[in-house]
Amino acid sequence: MQLTGNTILVTGGNSGIGQALASAFHSLGNTVIITGRRQDTLDATVASHPGMHAVVLDVADPDAIQQVARQLIQDSPALNAVIHNAGMMSEEDLKTGEVATAEAHIATNLLGPIRLNSALLPHLLTLPSATVMTVTSGLAFVPLALNPTYSATKAAIHSYTQSLRYQLADTPVQVIELAPPYVRTSLQGERQANDPNAMPLDEFIAEVMQILKDDPAVTEVLVQRVHAQRFAERSGEYDVFFKRMNDMLRAARHG
């Protein structure tokens, strides 16, 4: 991925990893458009980044995706990159039989990127160079039992990304997967935002941008801190890693 000269759409760019990525690319002189569900947080982000643009979008709404995609292509024909970052992460107790939370995760984390990608790809394929970046998680490779559907949606997006990359191999569209470790953001509220065990957001973004700079043809962006999780099965440590991680986090959350 080229780091300059882009017009980049970042979903969920009004907080956390999305906001930090948007800021990093904006600081390099790219035109950056962020989306989010809340106008106030979008306005606050744009106010602190003069020249950045914002559009309200709930990626769980298929009609809104189509409308926003059409408007973006019309207003910003130079749009050549999309970072599918918007997502939700909630705990679930599978013993209750409740499915609304799972369905919301699937609509936002899985169908959202797939639908938006389908809406934007015809445009991206007309450009001499374009990028699709999906944001998955280390939990795509070793799931967190307290967040079963979140983990499952990220595993599904990993699989989808691999298929997308294969299908677009002979096109101008580069497909990249970014798989973060546990990062210090407010995705799950103040506990995560202040958890000393989480990777500091600024350190994560700095390492991500360095990887993209060092290897423009990269397919998976993996900071060092996520390697043990990403390659747990390959190393033969999957079962041990799964139990240790889940036991530790269950104790930390519900002590």
Question: What angle (nearest 5°) sits at the alpha carbon of residue 113, between those of residues 110 and 118?
Answer: 120
Total number of residues shown for the chain: 255
CB-side neighbour CA atoms (13 Å) of 47: 6
Query: Across the beta sheet with 130-135, what order do the strands follow?
Result: 53-56, 31-36, 7-10, 81-84, 130-135, 173-178, 220-221
Instruction: Please tell me whether residue 31 adopts helix, strand or coil conformation.
Output: strand
Question: What angle (nearest 5°) sits at the alpha carbon of residue 100, between those of residues 97 and 104?
Answer: 140
Handedness of CA 139, 142, 144, 145 (dihedral sign): positive
Handedness of CA 54, 58, 64, 65 (dihedral sign): positive
DSSP letter at 53 equals: E
- 150 classed as catalytic: yes
74's CB contacts (< 8 A; 6+ apart) are none
**Rounded CA separation 118/62 (Å):** 11
Set 150, 160, 166, 238: catalytic member = 150
Handedness of CA 80, 206, 162, 106 (dihedral sign): negative
| Residues tagged active-site | 150
